Amino acid sequence: MNLRKIYHFSWRGHTLELGRQTCVMGVVNVTPDSFSDGGRFYDHNAAVSQGEKLAAEGAAVIDIGGESTRPFSEPITVEEEIRRVVPVIEQLAQRIPVPISIDTTKAEVARRALEAGASIINDVSALRVDPGIAMLAAESGTPLILMHMLGDPKSMQVLPRYENLLEEILTFLEDAVEKAENQGVSRAKIIVDPGIGFGKTISHNLLLIKHLQTFTRLDLPILIGTSRKAFIRKILKDPHAQDIRPDLPIVENGTQATVAAAILNGAHIVRVHDVSNTIATVKILDALMNVKDSEGIGN
């Protein structure tokens, strides 16, 4: 039985129904140092082609990011981030029908991205880096994704600790949502993300997926991004190996296992690099969750 509440989003010529079917968000990193692809889509033409490919494979949203948020990464300037993402968004907006999300913590980058054709803001800092993002989302009427992160990318994986993992992240997200609403963002346009891999150990990440239903207390759509992340690679690698490449087939298998678990536990949106494999996983899991016992078991 599908326990996910259904949410309807309608804005700027786009509509999304979240809950009846799982929404797949495809990732395009326009960076030279992405953990997931090593900079394969840093070239603008390569990034546009990848965005088109992911949309054709069934992604309901394409998420464009120009600044790496991998552990220990260095921040870049507003100007450099704009230089990376705006040309890609301008071209993609003319070529694909699905909404484009801008993955940024900076209001000026988000503003330029919206002008170029993006229509969702994905803020992994949950307004802590630049509170102006909330005002921009309110003025533009765009959906806003707020994610939990412990610290910042440079420090988040240095011995992350919690007294109560679920309650602390839940409180963090409640506070972020309240800040957004106080700036005029409609609650009906907010999505929350518990931030898998952002200041969490392997156990933290597994517990978040296992107890994802905890976040239904927020009464907001839940996004989960596990794709190719270090906790998957650490679980799967040979005990004597330092790490394994994120693009290996075994890592994709592990990603799909976490996607399936997240959907079963209430995720409305899954953010992934491999859309084709994820669409297959989503179709099976959605069919399983939506089938009625009365159709075969009887009373």
Query: Which one from 112, 189, 233, 271 is the annotated catalytic residue?
Result: 271
Out of 111, 189, 229, 233, the active site residue is: 229
Helix locations, the chain, DSSP H: 44-57, 78-95, 107-116, 132-140, 165-182, 202-210, 230-236, 249-264, 275-290
Residues 174, 153 contacting (CB under 8 angstroms): no
Q: Is 106 a catalytic residue?
A: no
What does 82-111 look like in DSSP terms, one character per residue? HHHHHHHHHHHHHH-SS-EEEE-S-HHHHH
**Nearest alpha-carbon partner for 54 in 284, 260, 281, 271:** 271
Distance, C-alpha 94 to centroid of its chain:
23
Euclidean distance between CA atoms 34 and 97, whole angstroms: 26
Catalytic residue flag (residue 229):
yes
- Residue carrying structure tokens 């394969």: 40
Beta strands (DSSP E) in 150-197 are 190-193
The angle at the Cα of 33, spanning 280 to 161, to the nearest 5 degrees, equals: 80
Report residue 229 as tokens. 């992340």
How many CB atoms within 10 Å of residue 68? Answer: 20
How many other CB atoms are there within 10 angstroms of residue 110's CB atom? 27
Cα separation of 172 and 142, whole Å?
22
Find out whether 9 and 19 touch, Cβ atoms under 8 Å. Answer: no
Residues marked active site are found at: 229, 271
